[in-house]
Amino acid sequence: MCVVLDISSFDHIDHSKSNIIKKLDFAFRQDIIKKFDGYFKRPYSDVLKSIIIGDKSTLSWDIKNSFSGSWIMHILVVSGLHVGFISIIVLFILKLAGAVFKKSFAVKHSFYIFYCFVTDANLPALRSAVMFSCVIFSLSLDREPLIYNSFALSALIIPIIPPATIVF
Instruction: Please list the pLDDT of the chain residue by residue as tens digits (168 residues).
Output: 566 656 666 565 555 566 777 778 788 888 888 988 899 988 888 888 888 888 778 888 888 777 777 777 777 777 777 888 888 888 888 888 887 766 777 777 788 778 887 887 777 787 888 888 888 777 777 777 777 887 788 888 877 776 554 544
User: Domain limits at 39?
Assistant: 20-76
Do 102 and 33 share a domain, yes or no?
no
> Which CA distances in Å does 167 have to 79, 120, 161?
16, 7, 11
117 neighbors 25 (Cβ within 8 angstroms): yes
Do 89 and 150 share a domain, yes or no?
yes
Do 86 and 51 share a domain, yes or no?
no
**Does the pTM exceed 0.85?**
no
Return the sign of the alpha-carbon dihedral for residues 167, 86, 135, 114. Answer: negative
Q: pLDDT at position 15, please?
A: 53
The answer as to whether 1 is a domain residue is no
Of the three residues 30, 58, 76, the one that is the final residue of a domain is 76
Domains held by the chain: number: 2
